[in-house]
Structure 1
Amino acid sequence: MPTFTPDRSLLNPKFDGYKFSPLEYDEVTAHYPLEHKLSQTNVSGRAPLSFQEVQSRVLHNHLAICSQSKRAVYVDADLRVIGIDLDETALKPAFRVLCELPRPIQSSAVDSLQREYPSAAFVDATSLLVADGYGTLYALRLGDVGPAEVLAAYELSIPAAYESSQTTVPSRLHQAISPDGQSIIAVLSSKHYPKNAPEPSQKSHKPPPVKFDVWGVQIALPIVTAPQAQPLQIVWHRRGDDVPLYVTYDASRQAFLFVGSSSYLPINIDPTPSYEPSPDEIAPIPRKDENLDGAPAATSDLPKPPPYSWTQTEDMVTVAIPLPSDTPTSHIKVAFSPRTLTVLVEGAPTAPTADVPVVVPRYTLKALWDEIRPGSSLWTFDRAAERTYGMLTLHLDKAHEGTRWPQVFAAAGQGGPDGEEEVPETLDPSELYAIREALEKYTAALRDGSDASGLGLGKGVPSLGQGERDDDVDLSVGKSACVTWVGVGGAHPAWLGKDGHGDDAPLQLLSTPFPGSSGTHKPSLVAKNGLDGVVYTLQPGSNLEDPPKWEHTATYSALAFVLASKRDTRFVHHITSKAVFALESGTQDLGGNVYIYRGAGVKENWAKQTVLKVGGGAAGALLGVGLMKVQGKVAVLCLCEGELVILHDVL
């Protein structure tokens, strides 16, 4: 059973859009210049980067947030680890140099590997791990003031069993936890360099496939200092097609959650191959009135007709219910109310029979999807004497003209005693013909560039829009993502399959939680559902065997639609059901924007949208973001190349 299932009651088909709600820029932002600046151009190497590596570097968050305190760190262009302590009263940051990491000496005569951006992760408020991007991991102890104490250095030594041509590789640090107080478990990722990699073809420009390793390494506590780098103890290993987009730890299940464009599997487990049917398994398509089985189809195998059919206009919903043509009009009882419908037919069969195979529906105060006007609603019955069935037609006058009903009854398509099958809307032949004719005219107009409106608006696409339309891009908003679980010790949880990622189809991921929010909010994902963004929240488990339950807790209506036009976003993060932040990177000349889409209730037609500028000019491009909760309020830290911008009181 899929674990990501939307709740229809939390979807809002009446939603109209987002209205701009301006904020006073100087009242909600604070700017602090950086003495120690960052750079996104200090990653060097001779080997060309694959698309996955480029994308990973673009999405890399240079800011690490401590969820247990008001503390953050980043690594500047000269490999200095800079600490940021945020004053809770004034929301003013204090910067200090924690340590300066040694820079490895690289010779131009040696073909060095592509290094990673430096990365950091807090174990707790006083313990910090920092990866320098060259392959060394440092353990630091932080105090309230002054520099940090460098306790030890570690290197990831890759055993031969992992079939790597390199013994040490640059790595990226994703998370660090201490599950039992006896050790630290850190999650690293690195590019896989296979031993017997084929030589790149001179004829083909297609790059060779790239794989990425995900490592779970252990550091014993207390940390033992040593003058030389110590080898890391590998607890578990997985391999996938990309760098994880989101990593978190679920303490209730003692397992890591990975969200990435592929599943992450042990190297001794191959991905499930796609099923290809054999020629004998492909059934031919029968022609009209052709029976390929040579025997008449059983009546019980025929699909059961729906209990009614329906269609709608701007102001009317028409419901047609088949009744036996000999039904007396006096036996038909229909009652309308603003929110309910009652339809009772005396003497109607309660079960299918040979003469009447269709069961007449009985509705007693059945809740409608929307309100109607009872006084102007009516019903008719056409006996059609020469036919077996007549037609009971209900004409429901909409109370809200122009509102499109997705279904007739509120409980259609849901389980429970009041639920019933969902009946799709049908169209009468004349309306279908009009739609088809309009589509043919529109298609012809697109083909020859003529004016389809007939209003003299010109031909073709405006000059500024030439070459800019891309339907595939508009439909592919978000990132395809798979969910993989790994036990803290490397074992697959018992409630998953042998490969550790279950049977769920990939999600179209729109947003992940803000870095730093794990201490105050449950893990959640925003996935694409039509034009909407559905918030799935992971509920805590009652024990280690409790399978993960992703509950649909909120909906950002039309979020996928508005994000489709934001092609330059670098980070998209959300704060539960309150707001989604789409942050552009920007450049030195042109600053990026932060688009804030606030959540709205299921019955609300409009939601608020805010746009703020971050970066640009001396501040440079946006390179990192994080969230802190200060005195019950949310503060968003935006780390630019030369400036720290703090957004506050934006919700």
Structure 2
Amino acid sequence: MSFPVPTRALLNPKFDGYKFSPLDYNEVTSHYPLEHKVSQTNVSGRTPLSFEEVQSRVTHNHLAICGQTRRAAYVDAELRVIGIDVDEATLRPAFRILYELPRPVQSSAVESLQREYPSAAFVDAASLFVADGHGSLYALRVADSGPAELLATYELTIPEAYESSQTSVPFRLHQAINPDGLRAALVLSSKHYPKTGQPVTSTSKPPQVKFDLWGVQIPLPLAQSPQTQALQIVWHRRGADVPAYIAYDSSRKSFLFVGSSVYLPAAVASSPPYEPSPEELAPIPCAGENLDGPTDENRPRAPPPYSWTQTSDSVTVAIPLPADTPTEHIKVAFSPRTLTVLVEGPTSPTSTDVPVVVPRFTLKPLWDGIHPGTSLWTFDRAAESKYGILALHLDKQNEGTRWLQVFVAAGTGQGEEEVPETLDPTELYNIREALEKYTAALQSGTDASGLGLGTGVPSLAEGERDDEVDLSVGKSVCVTWVGVDGGHDMHGDDSPLQVLSTPFPGAAGSFKTSLVAKHGLDGVTFTLKDAANPEDPPIWEHTSTYSALSFVLASKRDTRFVHHVSSKAVFAFESGAQDLGGNVYIYRGAGPKENWAKQAILKIDGGLAGSLLGVGLMKVQGRIVILALCEGELVVLYGIL
């Protein structure tokens, strides 16, 4: 199922911005130096990393949180598994060495695969799985004190059916759950190494990198075994990158994967596009076809059907019409919630000389209410021009309310084109010139791309918006569902979604699964509703809005993690790798009728603490506690929410 259209009642057109609300640094943060430091430079291998591999390593979370407990773990630079127990009263962490992973012996004479960062995942407070990044998985039993006990060691053996050139590869551990009390279900990811095909030449494109997702299971309770065992593969999927977010939905007994592509079984994975030879690119004309004429590809882009601008108390809509349109052929009717515009004339362009379509708006719902008695329209003709401007002046019912569109259905995928607001009202009278240039371009064949009815952005971002930066904020993702036993593929949704934030690691047991998606300048929170039966399709509900979140996140250029706590707040963590980095920006949620929301900034990493490598959330006696793992320190945030 696709994500729903945002609920208008939860959007806030009157939102003005974020006000700085400082926090007492010493009352909400504590820093604890690490005796066993973390490193992000221990990945080896001779082959260069692809962009997708680099990206997944940059956003890799080195901290594992045991949900609904006060326990966490990480693997240090010397492959020691370090346990963290947070005191219930003081929130002070206690560190201990749980286990020392064997260090693999590598020979310079042997070509080795790129290793992964070590990763860990808790099944419960007493059961911890750790992947060393070289291809081995360790099952540990964790006691309340002292070191952990090694129960078993596993490796991922890839069957021939998965068309891999390697029988064993390094992998990353993402999640471990106990779905039925009888087994531990784990999700692993690894780079796909295809069997050797055609030789790669200097002129050929490099092969596209793919990643495998593995669903494996281990019987419970765990039994001690001195021998390395092969993991039992339950299901397999393949996609274009490592998932950005994974969650388990117990009501549907399925895993949710959020990544830049859908994850499909290898048997139905999409084949690479066919690359024709230069000879095949030569077009073959049909009877009566003129291949030298203009085509749709080089035809200039048509202007939108109207342009509009607004002030605090009015909205002005400009519609181009042929200049010879008689006034008596124009019928306009205003009502408190709708607009009707009927103009006699053709409903489609009759020729390239007049590439405009006369409007046919019948009781079309407006974005917000207007005063019909004080709204009016005018038709302006200019001498020696082919076009005139029908200007509609709408008097707002709610003064100060900022309209996001003229019509309710604009940009919702219901066949209604989204038309951006024009910043400068004087541009409304340049439409005539733009249309004439567009007509000339159609006749001459020159490129007129970029012409349109007005330009600009909503006035919230006037003078500050950078289109190239703002469009790149967030991550374009697709959602894939896979049952814990490999089924429920009917839940897949390949409709792209621009995600700004995902839930905190460790928040699954305390908050419902949700995603914050980009909607214009805002971030809308879509929350997953529980299912009555495992076969029920997923239903997402728009539950809250972080106004202007996309706009403020666009200015953060060193962001490593962006996570949210339900509708309470969004946390944007900088990596701390740059000289001026090391902050966490906290944007608090606000109601749809509030003009301002609160923002706070805390320094957590950088300097002696080093770069930020992992974050997680836990609840301690009802209090939300956030852990931030840096290279040299563990930072504990509390009392913020």
Within 5 A, what are the aligned runs for 1:132-151? 132-151=132-151
Amino acid at match of 2:196: N
Residues in 1 aligned to 2:186 and 2:334: alpha-carbon distance in whole angstroms? 67
Residues in 2 aligned to 1:624 and 1:393: alpha-carbon distance in whole angstroms? 55
Secondary structure class of the residue paired with 1:505:
strand
Residues in 2 aligned to 1:511 and 1:279: alpha-carbon distance in whole angstroms? 49
Amino acid at match of 2:403: W
Within 5 A, what are the aligned runs for 1:103-122? 103-122=103-122
Q: RMSD of the alignment, in Å?
A: 4.3
Question: Residue 219 of structure 2 corresponds to which residue in structure 1?
Answer: 220
What are the superposed Cα offsets for residues 521-541 of structure 1, whole Å, 9 maximum, x if unpaired?
Answer: 111111112222111111111
Aligned counterpart in structure 2 of residue 489 of structure 1, from 485, 491, 504 = 485
Question: Residue 152 of structure 2 corresponds to which residue in structure 1?
Answer: 152
Q: Given the superposition, is the C-alpha separation of residues 614 and 78 from structure 1 closer, same or farther in structure 2, using an over 3 Å criterion?
A: same
Question: Residue 42 of structure 1 corresponds to which residue in structure 2?
Answer: 42
Q: Does 1:54 align with 2:90?
A: no
What are the superposed Cα offsets for residues 363-418 of structure 1, whole Å, 9 maximum, x if unpaired?
Answer: 9xx9982586x9x9477999xxxxxxxxx999765476665434678x77799xxx
Amino acid at match of 1:161: A
Work out whether residues 65 and 73 of structure 2, in 8 Å CA contact, stay in contact via their aligned partners in 1.
yes
Amino acid at match of 2:488: H
Q: Given the superposition, is the C-alpha separation of residues 198 and 342 from structure 1 closer, same or farther in structure 2, using an over 3 Å criterion?
A: closer
Residues in 2 aligned to 1:166 and 1:343: alpha-carbon distance in whole angstroms? 65
Q: Given the superposition, is the C-alpha separation of residues 311 and 506 from structure 1 closer, same or farther in structure 2, using an over 3 Å criterion?
A: closer
Amino acid at match of 1:625: V
Unaligned runs of 5+ in 2: 276-282, 291-304, 319-326, 341-358, 380-389, 437-463
Amino acid at match of 1:474: D
Question: Residue 454 of structure 2 corresponds to which residue in structure 1?
Answer: none
Amino acid at match of 2:167: T
Residues in 2 aligned to 1:275 and 1:13: alpha-carbon distance in whole angstroms? 47
Amino acid at match of 1:475: L
Question: Residue 66 of structure 2 corresponds to which residue in structure 1?
Answer: 66
Residues in 2 aligned to 1:589 and 1:360: alpha-carbon distance in whole angstroms? 56
Percent identity over paired residues: 67
Question: Residue 13 of structure 1 corresponds to which residue in structure 2?
Answer: 13
Question: Residue 553 of structure 1 corresponds to which residue in structure 2?
Answer: 543
Aligned counterpart in structure 1 of residue 606 of structure 2, from 611, 616, 632 = 616
Q: Does 1:167 align with 2:163?
A: no
Task: Give the CA deviation at 1:507.
Answer: 1.1
Amino acid at match of 2:481: W
Q: Given the superposition, is the C-alpha separation of residues 476 and 82 from structure 1 closer, same or farther in structure 2, using an over 3 Å criterion?
A: same
Question: Residue 573 of structure 2 corresponds to which residue in structure 1?
Answer: 583
Q: Which has the larger radius of gyration?
A: 1
Question: Residue 479 of structure 1 corresponds to which residue in structure 2?
Answer: 475
Task: Give the CA deviation at 1:362.
Answer: 8.4
Aligned counterpart in structure 2 of residue 316 of structure 1, from 310, 314, 317 = 314
Task: Give the CA deviation at 1:275.
Answer: 12
Work out whether residues 369 and 407 of structure 1, in 8 Å CA contact, stay in contact via their aligned partners in 2.
no
Work out whether residues 513 and 524 of structure 1, in 8 Å CA contact, stay in contact via their aligned partners in 2.
yes
Question: Residue 582 of structure 2 corresponds to which residue in structure 1?
Answer: 592
Within 5 A, what are the aligned runs for 1:348-359? none
Aligned counterpart in structure 2 of residue 538 of structure 1, from 528, 531, 536 = 528
Secondary structure class of the residue paired with 2:54:
helix
Work out whether residues 367 and 403 of structure 2, in 8 Å CA contact, stay in contact via their aligned partners in 1.
no
Within 5 A, what are the aligned runs for 1:639-650? 639-650=629-640
Work out whether residues 482 and 507 of structure 1, in 8 Å CA contact, stay in contact via their aligned partners in 2.
yes
Q: Given the superposition, is the C-alpha separation of residues 422 and 62 from structure 1 closer, same or farther in structure 2, using an over 3 Å criterion?
A: closer
Task: Give the CA deviation at 1:239.
Answer: 0.9
Residues in 1 aligned to 2:33 and 2:614: alpha-carbon distance in whole angstroms? 15
Residues in 1 aligned to 2:420 and 2:581: alpha-carbon distance in whole angstroms? 48
Amino acid at match of 2:51: F
Q: Given the superposition, is the C-alpha separation of residues 644 and 175 from structure 1 closer, same or farther in structure 2, using an over 3 Å criterion?
A: same
Residues in 1 aligned to 2:83 and 2:425: alpha-carbon distance in whole angstroms? 70
Secondary structure class of the residue paired with 1:634:
strand
Work out whether residues 488 and 535 of structure 2, in 8 Å CA contact, stay in contact via their aligned partners in 1.
no
Within 5 A, what are the aligned runs for 1:77-476? 77-201=77-201, 203-204=202-203, 207-271=206-270, 314-317=312-315, 369=368, 377=374, 397-398=395-396, 403-406=401-404, 432-434=428-430, 471-476=467-472
Residues in 1 aligned to 2:425 and 2:15: alpha-carbon distance in whole angstroms? 30
Residues in 2 aligned to 1:548 and 1:222: alpha-carbon distance in whole angstroms? 32
Secondary structure class of the residue paired with 2:594:
coil
Task: Give the CA deviation at 1:471.
Answer: 4.8
Q: Given the superposition, is the C-alpha separation of residues 319 and 62 from structure 1 closer, same or farther in structure 2, using an over 3 Å criterion?
A: closer
Residues in 2 aligned to 1:8 and 1:144: alpha-carbon distance in whole angstroms? 50
Unaligned runs of 5+ in 1: 286-305, 327-331, 345-357, 383-391, 416-420, 441-464
Residues in 2 aligned to 1:359 and 1:212: alpha-carbon distance in whole angstroms? 50
Task: Give the CA deviation at 1:624.
Answer: 0.4
TM-score (norm 1): 0.75
Residues in 2 aligned to 1:414 and 1:436: alpha-carbon distance in whole angstroms? 25
Between stretches 267-276 and 533-542, larger displacement belongs to 267-276
Work out whether residues 584 and 594 of structure 1, in 8 Å CA contact, stay in contact via their aligned partners in 2.
yes
Task: Give the CA deviation at 1:637.
Answer: 0.4
Amino acid at match of 2:83: G
Task: Give the CA deviation at 1:486.
Answer: 0.7
Residues in 1 aligned to 2:526 and 2:363: alpha-carbon distance in whole angstroms? 37
What are the superposed Cα offsets for residues 456-475 of structure 1, whole Å, 9 maximum, x if unpaired?
Answer: xxxxxxxxx9xxx9853432
Task: Give the CA deviation at 1:144.
Answer: 1.1
Work out whether residues 337 and 370 of structure 2, in 8 Å CA contact, stay in contact via their aligned partners in 1.
no
Residues in 2 aligned to 1:470 and 1:245: alpha-carbon distance in whole angstroms? 26
Work out whether residues 50 and 207 of structure 1, in 8 Å CA contact, stay in contact via their aligned partners in 2.
no
Work out whether residues 591 and 614 of structure 1, in 8 Å CA contact, stay in contact via their aligned partners in 2.
no
Residues in 1 aligned to 2:160 and 2:361: alpha-carbon distance in whole angstroms? 71
Work out whether residues 337 and 368 of structure 2, in 8 Å CA contact, stay in contact via their aligned partners in 1.
no
Secondary structure class of the residue paired with 2:268:
coil
Residues in 2 aligned to 1:99 and 1:431: alpha-carbon distance in whole angstroms? 68
Residues in 1 aligned to 2:51 and 2:426: alpha-carbon distance in whole angstroms? 51
Q: Given the superposition, is the C-alpha separation of residues 609 and 207 from structure 1 closer, same or farther in structure 2, using an over 3 Å criterion?
A: farther
Q: Given the superposition, is the C-alpha separation of residues 189 and 16 from structure 1 closer, same or farther in structure 2, using an over 3 Å criterion?
A: same
TM-score (norm 2): 0.76
Q: Given the superposition, is the C-alpha separation of residues 402 and 591 from structure 1 closer, same or farther in structure 2, using an over 3 Å criterion?
A: closer
Task: Give the CA deviation at 1:577.
Answer: 1.1
Work out whether residues 73 and 120 of structure 2, in 8 Å CA contact, stay in contact via their aligned partners in 1.
yes
Question: Residue 323 of structure 2 corresponds to which residue in structure 1?
Answer: none
Q: Given the superposition, is the C-alpha separation of residues 512 and 205 from structure 1 closer, same or farther in structure 2, using an over 3 Å criterion?
A: farther
Number of residue pairs matched? 558
Residues in 1 aligned to 2:164 and 2:619: alpha-carbon distance in whole angstroms? 43
Within 5 A, what are the aligned runs for 1:509-520? 509-520=499-510
Amino acid at match of 1:184: A
Work out whether residues 245 and 260 of structure 1, in 8 Å CA contact, stay in contact via their aligned partners in 2.
yes
Residues in 1 aligned to 2:338 and 2:112: alpha-carbon distance in whole angstroms? 77
